[in-house]
Structure 1
């Protein structure tokens, strides 16, 4: 029995599930003539830790991709992957276990930011799987990222409504029938692009189409400043997150909602949390050019 026959046999059984290793896509050869096509960048970074103030980027991967007016990904261009030796002169064992990157791997390595600028110059959107993490780190070292529209393949798609219980990248891949060697930046980019290429459920629309639809909308961050402490569990259950104020933003619970849902959310806060019809939570509005940035 060869491998194809074995796969066919397993797929015919209700007791087995076959998943395949993610294949590295073949880059497009040469320019594409269709003027309706647009170019995006899917990127991922690895860092020495989670602190924007203290930690540094040690790996950056960017994969340029081309998509059409129906949000179908036509293909990718050659990826760019670069390493950076951190100024602190070390990489912790914890970070090495998470990323596979040792200090010897990055010793003497420097990210060429001019090459990065050239690559992203004509991109209409930058996408990462956790843009709330990646964008602030990148804007800290390269201002050109401040000028770009951003999307997030983790947060901008309602994965749960399409049958996924988690939006973690490796889980989404397994549920979509593939696995890969995760936690290295370029492979994470390939996995993210594969997910954005797939049609979601029975909709006939790609993951990218849902992401772009969200990116075109305005969203609002509602800060429940001075919310009574005894209602913290209710806020958490509704999806609010706590900000401790160390980043110069309000020390408060907050949630991001679509513009169309703002009034309903404010009504819930006034009735169920503040119990005051005149309460006026702080509102911060975002679009794709400001969303996920710490500048706002």
Structure 2
């Protein structure tokens, strides 16, 4: 069955579950109220992973700071790739050292300057929970991972971990969902939550992954080999074409870049040679990506 058709059927199933007498029933998610299996027998087939989220003073990963963090561990099935049970969590506010919390950030996060006054994250707890995890999951790992690795106490631990991303490693469009925003995905699955506080965000994400079974999609993507294609010295007039092909602008290297599956690389290079660089010689650079380098700042 075609993925998009399968996705539309899946989406309809979720909608059917929340529609009753022509009314849509959306329930508020406050905390986990499912009856999780209590007697999980630990074995080599049962692993632990962590979901993590940060709230920050802004979106500049080089200069902004973390003002709140939350991390929760989960048991998961290493064979069937499904979440089993939520475990311990840690959440804390943090007073920034050189940034201010602007009214715009307060509007987004609900965090005020006085809320973080004198507060400090215990990075040792975060480090230990990350070290115990098979992998780290975030809904936008391309942002959260660099922010975490800016913290000296966490940098080495994080750099040696596999990070995965529920935003980019689930093809939400093929599954019938027109948006990959977490709040909207949760609504499609019949619940809403008070968003943009770190602990609530990660627990709502865990609930979404649990009810939808999307950990399978994420871990299937881990097994796929990727390369990074950088269009060095691409003609300016090719920018719209590259954007249409979902290349993104890398401001550090000042070039258009994209992650490409290894088995699709030849087709991509032919496109770049014939459509982007022609008649000049292609200057595209290809770099193999190690599984532990996904979502790092410079990858």
Give the TM-score normalised by the residue count of structure 1: 0.88
Which runs of structure 2 are paired with 1:50-65 in the superposition (5 Å)? 50-65=59-74
1:231 aligns with 238
1:129 aligns with 139
Deviations 1:103-162 (A, max 9, x none): 111111111111111112221110000000000110111121111001000001101000
Conserved in 2, the CA contact under 8 Å of 1:225 and 1:281?
yes
Bigger RCO (CA 8 Å, 6+ sep): 2
| Counterpart pick for 1:17 among 7, 24, 41 | 24
Conserved in 2, the CA contact under 8 Å of 1:151 and 1:288?
no
| Counterpart pick for 1:243 among 222, 236, 250 | 250
Which runs of structure 2 are paired with 1:162-173 in the superposition (5 Å)? 162-173=175-186
- 2:127 counterpart of 1:114: no
Conserved in 2, the CA contact under 8 Å of 1:125 and 1:151?
yes
Conserved in 1, the CA contact under 8 Å of 2:232 and 2:283?
no
List runs of 5+ in structure 2 lacking aligned partners. 1-15
Shift of 1:29: 6.8
RMSD across aligned positions (CA): 2.1
Conserved in 2, the CA contact under 8 Å of 1:28 and 1:76?
no
Which runs of structure 2 are paired with 1:26-45 in the superposition (5 Å)? 32-45=41-54
Structure 1 segments (4+ residues) deviating >4 Å:
26-32
Conserved in 2, the CA contact under 8 Å of 1:243 and 1:251?
yes
1:72 aligns with 82
Once residues 140 and 48 of structure 1 are traced to their aligned partners in structure 2, the CA distance between those partners, rounded to angstroms, is 14
Deviations 1:163-215 (A, max 9, x none): 0001010011111111111101111111211222234xxxxxx2001101112
Report the 3-state secondary structure (helix = DSSP H, G, I; strand = E; otherwise coil) of the residue aligned with 1:79: strand
User: Given the superposition, is the C-alpha separation of residues 97 and 291 from structure 1 closer, same or farther in structure 2, using an over 3 Å criterion?
Assistant: same
Which runs of structure 2 are paired with 1:1-296 in the superposition (5 Å)? 11-13=19-21, 15-25=22-32, 32-68=41-77, 69-88=79-98, 90-141=100-151, 142-143=154-155, 144-199=157-212, 206-245=213-252, 250-276=253-279, 278-296=281-299
User: Given the superposition, is the C-alpha separation of residues 100 and 108 from structure 1 closer, same or farther in structure 2, using an over 3 Å criterion?
Assistant: same
Give the TM-score normalised by the residue count of structure 2: 0.87
- Number of residues paired by the alignment? 277
Once residues 119 and 243 of structure 1 are traced to their aligned partners in structure 2, the CA distance between those partners, rounded to angstroms, is 32
Conserved in 2, the CA contact under 8 Å of 1:216 and 1:287?
no
Shift of 1:37: 0.4
Report the 3-state secondary structure (helix = DSSP H, G, I; strand = E; otherwise coil) of the residue aligned with 1:282: strand
Once residues 148 and 285 of structure 1 are traced to their aligned partners in structure 2, the CA distance between those partners, rounded to angstroms, is 18
Report the 3-state secondary structure (helix = DSSP H, G, I; strand = E; otherwise coil) of the residue aligned with 1:159: coil
Deviations 1:36-76 (A, max 9, x none): 10110000000001112221001110010111120121111
Deviations 1:2-48 (A, max 9, x none): xxxxxx9x9442x3211111241268879853331011000000000
